[in-house]
Amino acid sequence: MLDTPRQITQILNKVLPRVSVPARYTGGELNSIAKDWSDGRMRSRVALAFPDIYELGGSNLGLMVLYDLINQRSDLLAERVYCPWSDFEAVMRQEGIPLFSLETRHPLGDFDILAFSLPYEQLYTNVLTMLDLAGLPLRAADREGDCPLILAGGSGCYNPEPMSAFFDAMVIGEGEEVVFEVIEAHAAWRAECKSDAHRSRSDLWRKLARIPGVYVPALYDVTYRDDGCIDRIAPTVAEAPATVMKRIVKVLPPPVTKFIVPYVDTVHNRAAIEIMRGCTRGCRFCQAGMIYRPVRERPLEEVLQAVDDMIVQCGFEEVSFLSLSSSDYTYVEELVRRIVEKHGHAKLSIGLPSLRIESFSVGLMELLEKGRRRSGFTFAPEAATDRLRDVINKPIASQDLLQTAAEVYSRGWTTIKMYFMIGHPTQTDTDVQAIAQLTRQVLQVGRAKIGRKAKVRVGVSTLVPKPHTPFQWVPLERTAQIDRHVAILREGLRDRSIAFTWNEPRETIMEAFLTRGDRRIGDVVERAWELGAKLDAWGEHFQFAAWQQAFDELGLDMDWYLYRERARDEVLPWDHISAGLHKEFLHEEYRNTFRGGVVDDCREHCFSCGILGNFKEERRETADDAWCCPPLGRNKERQPVDITPVPLYFNEDMAPDLQGQFPTRVPQRRAGTVIREVAAAP
Amino acid sequence: MNVSSTERDGGPQRLRLTYARDESLRFISHQDEFRMWERTIRRTQMPLAYKQGFNPQPHMQFAAPLGVGFSGSRELMDFRLERPLPEAEVTARLTRALVPGVRIVHLQTVELQATPLQATLLGADYTLRIQTAGLPDGPGRVREFLERTEIWRTRQRKGREYRYNLRPVVHELSYAGPTADGLHVALQLRVQMLEGATGRPDEVLDELGLTDFPYLLHRDRLYFASQAEDAAVFAPYTLARQSDIAWPEAVPPKRKARPRRRQHAQGQGNRSDSPQDFGSKAADEFR
């Protein structure tokens, strides 16, 4: 294997002309930071790894945040590495090129810390590809002292078990503060190793386990019962806590503005500014809405300043304001108005993904009309009947959707995209047919406004029950049922103005056994990878057969992981990891699912999900309006609080005998805490 | 203020930028470069003019796109500002906002309605740099290339193959010998660049059998018929047209336009009726 940046550069000049999109591997982008490795001040060198190709990793905000934070320190450096596409991987293996960082082309093995982002499960095999190309042992247990610390972070770590064998440590929750604690611990251990030859890697693990929010899999034992379920997951040393609580930041740190400006056309080729973290709606299927609590909004002035800085430092023609529910951001209308006023003439395009139908006001629409537009908007009703929307706790009225659609079409936009899900618990054929009917109604509304130009795009995915959500006990929908429902939709959505896309069931299956898997699935991942599984998110590479074979060889039953309804008292593989929510809260919500009980937005009514209990200190240290959770202390103005989620109402078909707070259907957030202006400065 | 006297005061200004793009950027495509320049100008906060429409494009025009595998010393791009600015200021602001690997050579104001550069493009000079310590048969390969009158090559266009004669579009080719650092050898090439009859340096290199070595294709300069000195350089050459270099049978007989078939009501109505691949799903997300 080649091992210096110079050798790697020389060979790249020879081989890059032969691969597709060579710019994926060359670096040198504006705002990328290549520090001097021979600088004596450098205490730690971190490689930030995103296990997919450049086009997907290059726009990942989480990685950019850590890159920016670490590089701000004069004694630390951070560089990036992405997964190579299959053609370049083949060239690398053939020519003995180790996986290298983009900035200085150092082989990954030269770094002190390798930090992988795990945003979704389809990337798991790419982690193994990258470790293998770097010449590093795949399993943490096989790594010697001088091997870099291999770390994981991201939402995939909320069920860390499937990938637990491959990481020395896994960070749960928000990384902006804890990443430095991990770097310090590692640096301290290395210093100790210099003076004491008996220091081993397990000493490093114990140091890391003491850091709140860091899960060290090797320090936990898992035992199983005869029926295959987990008996216990328990720490084996005193330093490792029985439950690893996620880390949060009390307020959002200042946003990144000096983004790396890619040459390659990445999937989200624009600036991204986080305006709000967390979500108060409480949709039952949604993992992000559960794990990113509490809701913290970014002050408006900070967002506006960030846009100004971004323009001078990057020059992106589009800026996207990220959150889980952008129209729920308190100052969203004023934000858009002031951006358009200041930058509209320079054709700055505004992206507002994750719009919520109920809070997407006409005022907001009119503001977005100005400036550079896109062809349409995206909404995610997820279910098309009132009953099923009550079940998933996303109760929008079809009438509101149609009215919003009418407003959108009449303002010059031509396309509306909608996301739906099939495979919800209690879903019937009627609910599926309703998706087609609702889509046609939207199209009709569009045609009434703009005739044949109106278009609707429908994306239907299959529900994958996720850990730390009320649906974590729900079995996956059977493939035959999925196929039947897709067939119903294909028939019902036949129209030249409707574009219908759906998920391949086998890809859904793969996500499903990975996301709720236990440690034994780690063996499946490794075996499937050995059999050739890689780049599973990309259709041309996805090989279901490799996964099937891996399960068979290891004597594990894929169906058992997919189709089993979990019991209330079952030890789930992620029970020792906490998102700050009480399991009882999630289970009460699970029961409300089958009663059709709709629970309010927690800005209106707090249900003691567990966040305030687990983060009391942090809440006390923040201003009253810094979180959407109620403030602590006496004489504070706050929303009503209950210790259990009390539904606004129960669906009359599913629970005719039960009564919630109201006898009839009422919308969430009826107190209208939606959009406000920033109060004029006193 | 060096604004052309033919412009109304305060009206749009057309600027012609000559710039160099070095080898560190040679793997980016033309679309990547277009986007790179748009963002560079946006960083300066100068009033870049945009075209009309819902998805407006900036007023930027390249004389001859470079593409993947190339670097260039004197590349040209025209762009338009909504309000005129002094050239010195534009140059200074651009220089501060450039990406690494790009350098400004010259900037001047041109008439708003000046002929597009592409329209008068004649040809270009290239330096082909091969990474090898020595190439003893270099002169021989060049001589052998030049002695032939027909060099038939095959390329793909719009999914179909076509054959063309490379020789008539190559007007000068010489072996320049080892470079100063002793690690490379260089060849000099002059080709014409006309519609349907363009000499591509990578084709020449391949024909010379030299693509096994790591190589760099560097465009030294472009030639334009609108510039007298450029026209003079190309005057002695016989410029080939597309018909001169096309393989005789390659041109298919002209077909009568078929009437468009109307979509059946019960046929395959859905255009994107398919499982969606991850890449487009990710790109679609939030759009």
DSSP per position, A249-302? -SSPPPPP-S--B-SS--TT-SEEEE-EES-SS--TT-HHHHHTPSPEEPPHHH
What's residue A676's pLDDT?
44
Residue with the bigger pLDDT between B273 and A373: it is A373
Instruction: For residue A455, give the 3-state DSSP assignment.
Output: strand
Q: For residue B209, with 0-12 CB atoms within 10 Å meaning exposed, 13-18 middle and 19 or more buried, which class applies?
A: exposed
8 A C-beta contact, residue A68 and residue A256: yes
CA distance A430 to chain B (A): 22
Higher pLDDT, A272 or B274: A272
Q: CB-based burial of residue A353 (10 Å sphere; 0-12 exposed, 13-18 middle, 19+ buried)?
A: middle
What DSSP string describes A585-642? HHHHHHHHHHHTEE---TTTSB---SHHHHTHHHHHTS-TTTBSSPPPSTT-----B-
Half-sphere exposure (Cβ direction) of A166: Cα atoms closer than 13 Å: 29
pLDDT in tens, B184-198: 999 999 999 999 899
Q: How close does chain B come to A237, measured CA to CA in Å? A: 42
Label residue A667 left, alpha or beta by phi (over 0 means left) and psi (-120 to 50 means alpha): beta
pLDDT attached to residue A677? 43
Q: Which amino acid belongs to residue B258? A: R
Which among A257, A394, A275 is positioned nearest to A323, based on CA atoms?
A275
Subunit contact B285:A537, Cβ cutoff 8 A = no
Average pLDDT over residues B259-276: 42
Q: Which chain A residues are closer than 8 Å to B48 by Cβ?
A: 346
Chain B residues closer than 8 Å to A544 by CB: none
Confidence of residue B285 (pLDDT cuts 50, 70, 90): very low
Give B35's contacts in chain A (Cβ within 8 Å).
Answer: 263, 265, 269
What share of chain A in percent tops pLDDT 70? 98
Distance from CA of A201 to the nearest CA of B (A): 38
Identify the pLDDT of residue B5: 47
Quick check: B278 and A538 CB within 8 A?
Answer: yes
A267 vs B contacts (CB less than 8 Å): 279, 282-283, 285
Statement: residue A250 has pLDDT above 70: yes
Nearest by CB: B36 against A263, A459, A540: A263
Beta-carbon separation of A14 and B278 below 8 A: no
First-to-last alpha carbon distance for chain A, in angstroms, is 66
pLDDT, position A371: 62
CB atoms B54 and A13 under 8 Å: no
Name the residue of chain A whose CA is nearest to B263's CA.
A496
Q: What residues of chain B lie within 8 A of the CB of A320, using their CB? A: 286
Residues A58-113 have pLDDT tens digits of: 989 999 999 999 999 999 999 999 999 999 999 999 999 999 999 999 999 999 99
Q: Would you call B126 helix, strand, or coil by DSSP?
A: strand
Q: Closest approach of chain A CAs to the CA of B147, in angstroms?
A: 29
CB contacts of A375 in chain B (<8 Å) are: 54
Judging contacts by C-beta atoms under 8 Å, the chain B residues touching residue A28 are: 24-25, 100-101
Predicted local distance difference test score (pLDDT) of residue A620: 95
CB pairs under 8 A between A and B: 138
Residues of A in contact with B272 (CB under 8 A): 457, 499-501
pLDDT digits (tens, 9 = 90+) for A590-616: 999 999 999 999 999 999 999 999 999
DSSP A28-58: --BT-----TT-TT--EEEEEEESS-HHHHT
- Residues of B in Cβ contact (< 8 Å) with A56: 279, 282
What crossing angle do the helices spanning A398-409 and A429-450 adopt, rounded to 10°? 30
- The chain A residue lying nearest B50, using CA atoms, is A347
Distance between CA A69 and CA A27 in Å, rounded? 19
In chain A, residues with a C-beta closer than 8 Å to the C-beta of B99 are 29-30, 261
pLDDT of B6: 44
Q: Report the chain A residue with the minimal C-alpha distance to residue B51.
A: A347
- Judged on CB neighbours under 10 Å (0-12, 13-18, 19+), A630 is buried
Chain B: residue nearest A489 by CA? B273
- SS3 call for A220: strand
Q: Which of B21, B27, B46 to probe the A interface (max A CBs under 10 A)?
A: B27
Asked if A330 and A675 count as a contact pair (C-beta separation under 8 A), the reply is: yes
Give per-residue pLDDT as tens, A338-386: 999 999 889 898 988 888 887 788 888 888 877 666 667 889 999 999 9
Residue B221, helix vs strand vs coil = strand
Q: What does the block give as tokens for A668?
A: 């969430």
Inspect the interface and report whether the beta carbons of B263 and A496 lie closer than 8 Å.
Answer: yes
Pairwise CB contact (< 8 Å): A539 & B278: yes
Bridge-partner residues for A319, per DSSP?
A271, A350
Distance CA B182, CA B178 (A): 6
| Inter-chain CB proximity B55 and A504 less than 8 Å | no
The pLDDT confidence band at residue B259, using thresholds 50, 70 and 90, is low
**Interchain proximity A122–B278, CB inside 8 Å:** yes
Which long-range contacts does A73-77 make (Cβ < 8 Å, 24+ apart)?
A: A74/A41, A75/A41, A75/A42, A75/A43, A75/A44, A76/A42, A76/A43, A76/A44, A76/A45, A76/A46, A76/A183, A77/A33, A77/A35, A77/A37, A77/A42, A77/A44, A77/A45, A77/A46
pLDDT at position B79 over 60: yes
Instruction: Say yes or no for a CB contact (<8 Å) between A501 and B276.
Output: yes
Which residues 194-253 of B have a C-beta within 8 angstroms of A? 213-216
Tokens of B150: 């027909």
* Nearest one of A49, A45, A46, A77 to A62, comparing CA atoms: A49
The per-residue pLDDT for A367 is 82
Q: Are A306 and A274 in contact (CB under 8 A)?
A: no
Round to whole Å and give the CA distance between A497 and A494: 9
Q: ω into residue A294 within 30 of 0, thus cis? A: yes
- Interacting residues of B192 by C-beta distance below 8 A, sequence separation 6+: B122, B123, B169, B171, B198, B199, B234, B237, B239, B240
Contacts of A424 (CB under 8 A, 6+ apart): A285, A383, A388, A391, A392, A431, A463
Q: A199 pLDDT band (50/70/90 cuts)?
A: confident
Give the rounded percent of residues in chain B with a pLDDT score beyond 90: 65
CB atoms < 10 A from the CB of B257, how many?
Answer: 6
Pick the more confident residue, B281 or A565: A565
User: DSSP of A394-430, one letter per residue?
Assistant: ----HHHHHHHHHHHHTTT--EEEEEEEE--TT--HH
Please check whether residue B38 touches A, CB under 8 A: yes
Looking at the predicted structure, is the pLDDT value of residue A675 above 70? Answer: no
Choosing among B278, B284, B285, which should be mutated to test the A contact, i.e. which has the most A CBs within 10 A? Answer: B278
Contacts of A337 (CB under 8 A, 6+ apart): A367
Sheet of strand A44-50, all strands in order from the earlier edge strand to the far edge: A76-82, A44-50, A113-117, A149-153, A169-171, A214-215
Let me know if B221 is exposed, middle or buried by CB neighbors in 10 A (0-12, 13-18, 19+): middle
Given this model, what pLDDT does residue A356 score? 85
Which DSSP string do the residues of B149-186 spell out, in sequence order? Answer: S--EEEEEETTEEEEEE-GGGEEEEEEEEE-TTSSEEE
To test the contact with chain B by mutation, choose from A32, A105, A263 the residue with the greatest count of B C-beta atoms within 10 A, namely: A263
Greatest Cα pair distance, chain B, in angstroms, is 70
- Measured between CB atoms, which of A311, A412, A498 is closest to B45? A311
Q: In this complex, which of A311, A457, A538 lies closest to B279 when CB atoms are compared? A: A538
Checking if the pLDDT of B25 tops 80, the result is: yes
Taking 3-state DSSP, the helix, strand and coil percentages for chain B, each rounded to the nearest 5, stand at: 25, 35, 40
The answer to whether A160 and A171 are in contact (CB under 8 A) is no
Residues of B in contact with A457 (CB under 8 A): 272
Are the CB atoms for B56 and A372 separated by under 8 Å?
A: yes
Test B31 with A265 for CB contact under 8 angstroms. yes
Q: Give this complex's ipTM.
A: 0.92
pLDDT band (50, 70, 90) for residue A196: confident
**Which of A28, A269, A315 shows the shortest C-beta gap to B42?**
A315
> Out of A296-300, A405-409, B130-134, which region has the weakest mean confidence (pLDDT)?
B130-134
Q: How far apart are CA A418 and CA A408, in angstroms?
A: 13
Q: What is the percent of chain A where pLDDT is above 90?
A: 86
Average pLDDT for chain A = 94
- Whether the predicted pLDDT of B267 surpasses 60: no
Question: Which tokens sit at A311?
Answer: 């323009």
Q: What is the DSSP letter of B50?
A: B
Nearest CB among B43, B131, B213 relative to A314 is that of B43
Residue A407 carries which side chain, given as an amino acid letter?
E
Instruction: Classify burial at A649, counting beta carbons within 10 Å of its beta carbon; exposed 0-12, middle 13-18, buried 19 or more.
Output: buried
The string of pLDDT tens digits covering residues A627-665 is: 999 999 988 888 999 999 999 999 999 999 999 999 888
3-state secondary structure of B104: strand
What long-range pairs does B182-185 form, CB within 8 A, spacing at least 24?
B182/B133, B183/B131, B183/B133, B184/B129, B184/B130, B184/B131, B184/B132, B185/B129, B185/B130, B185/B132, B185/B134, B185/B135, B185/B138
CA distance A535 to A650: 44
The Cα diameter of chain A in Å comes to 78
Kindly state the DSSP code that residue A553 receives in the 8-state scheme. H
Q: Which residues of A touch B32 (CB under 8 A)?
A: 23, 263-265
**Residue B174 pLDDT > 80:** yes
CB atoms B270 and A490 under 8 Å: yes
Q: Is B103 helix (H, G, I), strand (E, B) or coil?
A: strand
Residues of A in contact with B54 (CB under 8 A): 372-373, 375, 412
With an 8 Å Cβ cutoff, are B39 and A56 in contact? Answer: no
Angle, helices A332-343 vs A362-369, to 10°: value is: 20
The answer to whether B27 contacts A503, with C-beta atoms less than 8 Å apart, is: no
Please report, rounded to a whole number, the percentage of residues in chain B having pLDDT higher than 70. Answer: 83
More confident: B244 or A124: A124
**Are A262 and A440 spatial neighbours (Cβ–Cβ below 8 Å)?**
no
Mark A136-174 as b/e (b = at least 16 C-beta within 10 Å): bebebeebeeebbbbbbbbbbbbbbbbbbbbbbbbbbbb
The total of other beta-carbon atoms located within 10 Å of residue A428's CB is 12
